[in-house]
Structure 1
Amino acid sequence: MSSSELDLDGLSDSERTALEMYMAVTSQEPSEAIPLLRRSEWNVQIAISKFFDGEGPDPLAEARSAMENAPPPQQNRRPQNLMTDDFTEQLSQIARVTDPAPRIGTQSSDQPTYRPPLIIALLFMPFNLVYRLLCGSFRLFGRLFPFLPRLFNRTANPALQGARQNTTGRRPLGPKDTAARFIREFDEEFESHPIPFLENGYNMALEKAHRDLKFLLVVLLSPEHDDTSSWVRDTLLAPEVVEFINDPQNNLLVWGGNVRDSEAYQVANSLRVTKFPFAAVVVHTPNVSSTAMSVVGRIAGVLSPTEVLTKLRAAVTSNQEPLERIRSSRADQQASRNLRQEQDSAYERSLAIDRERARQRREAEAQRQREEQEAAGRQAAEERRRRDLAQWKIWRAQSLSAEPGVDVKDTVRVSVRLPSGERIMRKFAPDADLEELYATVECWEALQDADAPVTGEPEGFVHEYAFRLVSPMPRVVYSLDEGGSIREKIGRGGNLLVEPIQDEDDDEDDVTDIS
């Protein structure tokens, strides 16, 4: 933008005043403020609304285009706008358009209150006392002449009117706490009232109404007004009005505020309230934008329940159809979303089942391979054991002492009956160890094979006898663990039986190897 366009000397007095008022509220630079004010026809209220709520399309241009291309809208569906009176008079000759409902800036409830140091507070105490006396005097003067504050509110700078909010003597609270205080005071004054006020701030109430596609009834009360209590009792709490508000088919949310509180006072200024008690119906207007909230009904002053009910019913009826279309669209979108989620869920379950089956197949295949490997290992170990046992029998048979001859005295003659029924008859030297008798029984088949090759002891093989020798009558077990010679254990001779040892780890083949 050229410097000539931003030349402040070229502005008129009214334009310069509007620029100062706008910059006092928005703190914008002149390079940004002047173009916006020009697009707003130097109307400060319009420019401030565009700054906080977004500029959006030009209402005047849209209204002129609507007049050229379409017939005027019906009177019963015409919402009220929130612009200034002069701008409203300009648009009244062209067309009625809906502007977004104002949103206000509130202070966070957890923001600490600034307290000056004690020394500074003591120094400024006289000035503070004088200031309070002057404020009290002006307040008393305003009570004596009530038309002066209203006149001042109309002519004063809107950016400076907010100074009143701190002179009411009420403790400033956050939006939620302020709403709770209003509901508590309303309950104390009007007992057993059936109006469900929202217990949150004004901005949150707007968001809830927009999200739930419901109408928001904003009720602003001024305790200084003489007719406030009677209007609430006779009109707002009238049975027919309460029934209409609580009817679920009307989709009404109610938010209330006391103009002595900062938030409610800012709402009253934003809605350009000039008469109390006041109520406004705010609703989402999709024909303006996808997020627009607009005032579609205003109830100002003391009205009868019939008049209030008529205005409420007209505002709700005239704007119910667009909301129903949006609800239907949202329902269709939600149904499509639910269907898509169900399909995705079914697909995920199917994938999970397939993955579980694949995992079970992999585990079964791995288990089968392990069992085959274990079986092959056991079979190989068993075959090796059999080879080592056969080799050991040949080796041990070759290392046995020969049967003593007739010249040897005190020989021991032993008869051993095998499980197969075959009997072994053999003589042993009197000093022969009992293990010699066990080895003879174990290697009997190898002793009968004269052509057996000479071999050595198998490496790493530990031989264990799978039988024991017992005497039948009386039953005596000759165990190798006790040791001793054959003469000491059996005497000069004896008849013995081979009794297999039933071990849990031995199979039936181990028993048959004895025969």
Structure 2
Amino acid sequence: MEHLSESQQQALSQLREITNGGDDEVAVGVLSSVEWDVQRAAEMIFGTASTSTPNLPSSPPRRPIETFDVDDSYQGTTNSPEEPTIRERDTTSSLLTLTRPLVSLLAFPFHIISNVLRFIFGILRIPFPQFRFSGLNFYRPLRPRPSSAGGPDRWVRELEEETGAVCIGRLKTSRGATSSVAVDSSSSSLTARTYGTTSPNDDGRKLLPDFTLGGYEETLKSCQRDAKIACVILVSEEHDDVAEFKRSTLTDLTFVKTLYDNDIVVWGGDVRHREAWSAAEKLQATTYPFVAFIALQPRRSPASSSSSRPSSPTLTVLSRHQGRCVPATGPTSAATLVDHLERQVLPRVKPFLERIRASQRERERDRMLREEQDRAFHDAARRDKQRIEAKMAAERAQIEATRKAEEDALAEQRRRETEAENTKKREATRMDWRRWTRRAVVGPEYSDPKTSLRVAIRLPSGGRVIRSFPPSATLTSLYSFVDAQLIPSHFSPNDDPISPPEGVAGGEEALEQQIVSMSDAADWWGFDVTLAYPRTEIPWKSGIRLSDIQPLKGGGQVVVELRNSVRRSLADRSPTHNTAAQDDDGYDTEDSE
């Protein structure tokens, strides 16, 4: 006891004085389960809530206890005539409280013998029977009592170990077919809802109700939510009738089958544990074993109330059963509980719960229908939004494509205008070169007929021109003369420029330098000069004399072919001189004879 604080040791000593000693470990367990409240511990030990304990320090105010509506209109028919009323039981408990210390002292030797036998039977794994005098003192069995931290799961495991039974929820059983259930010892879940077809007596094991392992409040909320009946079972190891209740009532196959087939949620615990103690306080349990049936019932409204609005159902204690389970007519016997369930609770409660469940299913269908409608609405809205967004995107793309096409067309127009302007400038510059060439390079025609080279030129327009060149004339002279023939007639020779458009003046040498500086001489001239027969091109080369070209050594005839660019720009040109000689080239032909 060294680990206890000073206040806890003081509470322990006060409890010793009230109970005339006893087992300190058991007293510590009881005190810890009631948060070291001496008065509550004494009430728990003596089984009464009205025990007067002098010389006790004032305990702190206790929190309000949640209560339920108690509907005991059908309760009186379940009590046996042999059962005492609650007032009689309270009187008996008060008398027992006064005589208990003396009886405990006289029974002390029996407890020593009981503990020795319990120890021996525990080693041999033999169940030890309960004696009436065992609840009159603070004896402690071989297996340690659970601490206040224990819960329903621990209590159910201990119940299975003590009774040698197994919860029916661990069997592979379908509801309504518990007459052919089988034990599945490999299952680890106490509330597993799996099913099979073997008889429960095949392996000799007994069955327990399908206890739920959640908390008390959680179980009630589940029953309220699912519209089910709850069966709350509370026991106290300090009461002599509990052991027989566990062996006879909780393992009764008819009782277990009735609970399981009607889908009744079963919750149980020992009041030594905090959760079960809280449930006992709320259910106002005074004697153990204790069984209560709870379910939703219409809320009772005062008779003077004129409101026609239906009130919501509330959890109601349908009946409470407490006391001995023997004989068979005892309030907590299996026969009494089954008869009460089949004759009163189920016929009265199941139709109302079924209406609630039908209403819940209807609301669930309505909710699912609304969710489906909302989902369909959202899907339609999403598709409409996507369609509108796609249409808007297509319109934006079309507007963007139109804008881009307009920009491209404008850019193309500007490019063409710029190109046309540049082409016009180049043609103007090229025309200036032609006119300068006509004035500075071509000059007047060579007049010596003996030494001159007469060349007949077939122009692109179809006309012919005859030109006499001096013996020193070059290809540049021939090309310059042809180039001068491409000058439109509205350009007067008198207006030809004196100096070249670019570079310095220098006659034919300046022209050849300009042509050489260009990348392609053919592009500069814009036409090709070929022999009439055989048809052979005479390409321009700088410094080549006409007399050095074999076909033109004594004169000859050439044909001028324009390139496309020059043909377009000079489509409307006309020759400027020698028009009278276009029909006679000075040579005799067969046609002239």
Q: TM-score, normalised by structure 1?
A: 0.52
Give the Cα–Cα distance (whole angstroms) in 2 for the partners of residues 295 and 258 of structure 1: 20
State the distance in 1 between where 2:522 and 2:18 align: 127
Judging changes above 3 Å, is the alpha-carbon distance between structure 1 residues 226 and 441 closer, same or farther for their aligned structure 2 residues? Answer: farther
Q: Which residue of 1 aligns with 2:160?
A: 187
Provide the rounded CA distance (Å) in 2 between the counterparts of 1:488 and 1:170: 128
**From 14, 17, 37, the counterpart of 1:134:** 17
1:229 equivalenced with 2:243 (yes/no): yes
Q: CA deviation at 1:362?
A: 0.8
1:292 aligned to 2:314? yes
Answer yes or no: is the 8 Å Cα contact 1:209–1:216 preserved in 2. yes
- What is the deviation of 1:133? 4.3
**Deviation by residue 1:363-394 (Cα, 9 ceiling, x = unmatched):** 11111111111222222222222222222222
Task: Return the alpha-carbon distance in structure 2 between the equivalents of residues 425 and 148 of structure 1.
Answer: 135
Aligned to 1:282: 294
Structure 2 Cα separation of the partners of residues 398 and 214 of structure 1:
107
CA contact (8 A) 1:153 1:161 kept: no
Indicate yes or no: 2:147 matched with 1:171.
yes
Gaps of 5+ in 1: 1-115, 416-423, 445-472, 479-484, 501-508
**For 1:125 and 1:271, how far apart are their aligned partners in 2?**
29
Structure-2 change in CA distance of 1:138 and 1:125 (3 Å): closer
- Where 1:319 maps in the other structure, the secondary structure is helix
Does the 8 A contact of 1:397 with 1:439 survive in 2?
no
Change (3 A) 1:350 1:162: closer
Q: Quote the offset at 1:220 in angstroms.
A: 0.7
Q: Which secondary structure does the structure 2 equivalent of 1:200 belong to? A: coil
1:341 corresponds to which residue?
371
Structure 2 residue runs without a partner (length 5+): 28-41, 54-58, 64-137, 169-208, 301-310, 326-331, 443-468, 480-484, 488-507, 528-535, 550-557, 572-593
Contact preservation (8 Å) 2:227, 2:353: yes
| Cα distance, 1:364–1:387 mapped onto 2, change above 3 Å | same
Give yes or no for contact 1:430–1:487 (8 Å, CA) kept in 2.
yes
Change (3 A) 1:497 1:334: farther
Say which SS state the counterpart of residue 260 (structure 1) adopts: coil
- Whether the 8 Å contact between 2:292 and 2:321 is mirrored in structure 1 is yes
Larger Rg computed on CA atoms: 2
1:437 positional shift: 3.1
Using the size of structure 2 for normalisation, the TM-score is 0.46
In structure 2, give the amino acid aligned to 1:137. Answer: N
Change (3 A) 1:256 1:124: closer
Displacement of 1:210 after TM fit?
0.9
Deviation at 1:215, TM superposition (A): 0.6
- 2:48·2:286 contact (CA, 8 Å) conserved in 1? no
Tell me which residue corresponds to 1:437: 521
**Cα contact 2:233–2:292 (8 A) shared by 1:** yes
The answer to whether the 8 Å contact 2:43/2:49 transfers is no
2:266 maps to what in 1? 254
| Pairing of 1:54-453 with structure 2 (within 5 A) | 121=5, 127=10, 130-131=13-14, 133-134=16-17, 137=20, 139=22, 150=46, 152-155=48-51, 171-173=147-149, 178-190=151-163, 191-194=165-168, 195-247=209-261, 250-288=262-300, 290=312, 292-300=314-322, 301-302=324-325, 303-313=332-342, 314-400=344-430, 401-402=433-434, 403=437, 404-405=441-442, 410-412=474-476, 429-431=511-513, 432-433=515-516, 434-435=518-519, 437=521, 439-440=523-524
Looking at structure 2, the residues matched to 397 and 148 of structure 1 have their Cα atoms a distance apart, in angstroms, of 124
**What secondary structure is seen at the aligned counterpart in 2 of 1:153?**
coil
- Alpha-carbon distance in structure 1 between the residues aligned to 2:543 and 2:160: 115
Distance 2:23 2:352 in 1: 49
CA contact (8 A) 1:259 1:268 kept: yes
Partners in 2 of 1:363 and 1:252 — Cα distance? 62
CA spacing shift, 1:398–1:127, aligned 2, 3 Å: closer
- Give 1:84's aligned residue: none
Contact 2:242 2:288 in 1 (8 A): yes
User: Aligned with 1:198: secondary structure?
Assistant: coil
Q: Secondary structure at the match of 2:233?
A: strand
Describe the shift of the 1:499–1:396 C-alpha distance in structure 2 as closer, same or farther (beyond 3 A). Answer: closer
- Normalized per residue, the structure richer in helix is 1
Decide whether aligned partners of structure 1 residues 151 and 355 sit closer, same or farther in structure 2, where only a CA change above 3 A counts: closer
| Distance (Å, rounded) in 1 between the aligned partners of 2:14 and 2:542 | 134
Q: Structure 2: how far apart are the matches of 1:209 and 1:274?
A: 24
Deviation of the 1:334 alpha carbon:
2.2
Q: Which residue type is aligned with residue 335 of structure 1?
A: R
Number of residue pairs the alignment of both structures matches: 329
Distance in 1 (CA, whole Å) between partners of 2:512 and 2:320 is 132
Tell me what 1:450 maps to: none
- Partners in 1 of 2:349 and 2:317 — Cα distance? 11
Question: Separation in 1 of the partners of 2:248 and 2:563?
Answer: 115
Which residue type is aligned with residue 279 of structure 1?
A: V
Q: CA deviation at 1:341?
A: 2.2
Letter in 2 for 1:153: A
Distance in 1 (CA, whole Å) between partners of 2:45 and 2:394 is 90
Shift of 1:276: 2.3
Q: Output the CA distance in 1 between the equivalents of 2:318 and 2:403.
A: 84
Question: Once superposed, what is the RMSD of the aligned Cα atoms?
Answer: 5.0
Aligned in 2, Cα 1:311/1:156: closer, same or farther, shift over 3 Å? farther
In structure 2, how many angstroms separate the alpha carbons of the residues matched to 1:239 and 1:211?
28
Deviation, 1:409, is 5.4
Matched residue of 2:224: which SS?
Answer: helix
Decide whether the 8 Å contact of 1:214 with 1:252 is kept in 2.
yes
Matched-pair contact (CA < 8 Å) for 2:235–2:269: yes
Shift of 1:319: 1.0
Whether the 8 Å CA contact 2:233–2:267 is kept in 1: the answer is yes
Letter in 1 for 2:235: L
Letter in 2 for 1:334: E
Q: CA distance change for structure 1 residues 147 and 282 in 2, over 3 Å: closer, same or farther? A: closer
Tell me the distance in 2 between the aligned counterparts of 1:125 and 1:149.
18
Q: Structure 1's 360 and 124: CA in aligned 2 closer, same or farther, altered over 3 A?
A: closer
**Contact 2:476-2:512 at 8 Å conserved across structures:** yes
Aligned to 2:49, what secondary structure does the other structure show? helix
Q: 1:487/1:425 Cα in 2 relative to 1: closer, same or farther (>3 Å)? A: farther
Q: Which amino acid aligns with 2:223?
A: A
